[in-house]
Amino acid sequence: MNRRILLLSASILAFVPLAAAPARDMGGMQMAAATAAPAKVAALRTALENLWVGHIDAVRKVDVAEIAGDSAGTKSAEAEVVANAHAIADAVAGFYGKAAGDKLFTLLAGHYGAIKAYLDATVAKNAPGESKATSDLTSNADAIATFLSSANPYLPKATLSQMLLVHGSQHIEQIQELAAKNSAAESKTAAAMKTHIIALADALADAIAKQFPDKV
């Protein structure tokens, strides 16, 4: 999928709510019918929102620093991106175990790697590099959606894939706008990114609460 298609996806897709899957038998065990306490669900939502907003904030710092030619700033911001990815993975590991957390960290590393490759290509004015990075970002979105939907029946893969494609396209738009010094457009993109990533975080939190009402 090229950049034009990704950007078209961003313009068409806002937030598609994740469908609530019915309770079903998982490996011979009926999923719990209990519901998590609303206050605990709200706390989980807030925690995941902060982590995912931290992701877009840290990546933006990398974008700004690299476009400005600030190698020290880029290195510092990248360390923040990695620390944030570990924190997101650890949050997942708290429900699904260390192996799942490690897997998610690897996928998030791939997500960031594709974004960074796109950033590098943009700074170098390398259109083929941008195209390759966009393809990698798209493939990674599918891999993350596959992983999360496999772990949680309340997370439909198709919806997750759409949401992650929008997220990826927003990173691309932001890089292009920062590189063009189009601050007005970038400000709007940054606001849209935050709204979208909070919606994604809330959907993940709600799905986890449905799957593990006694662990939230």
Token look-up 């960074």 returns: 116
Mean pLDDT rounded to a whole number for the chain? 89
Higher pLDDT, 6 or 134: 134
Q: How far apart are CA 90 and CA 192, in angstroms?
A: 26
- Does some domain include residue 55? yes
Give the mean pLDDT of 142-165: 97
Domain membership of residue 52 as a residue range: 36-211
Number of folded domains that form the chain: 1
Share of the chain above pLDDT 70, in %: 85
Q: Minimal CA–CA distance to 201: which of 150, 148, 143, 136?
A: 148
User: Quick check: is 106 in a domain?
Assistant: yes
**Any domain includes 31:** no
CA distance 16 to 162: 8
CA 89 → CA 109, 130, 210, 213, distances in Å? 11, 27, 19, 20
pLDDT of residue 34: 81
pTM: 0.86
Please state the φ and ψ torsions of residue 29, each to the nearest 5 degrees: -115, 125
* 19-74 pLDDT tens trace: 454 444 434 334 445 898 999 999 999 999 999 999 999 999 999 999 999 999 99
Q: Is residue 21 part of a domain?
A: no
Examine residue 6 and state whether it is found in any structural domain, yes or no. no
Within a domain: residue 3? no
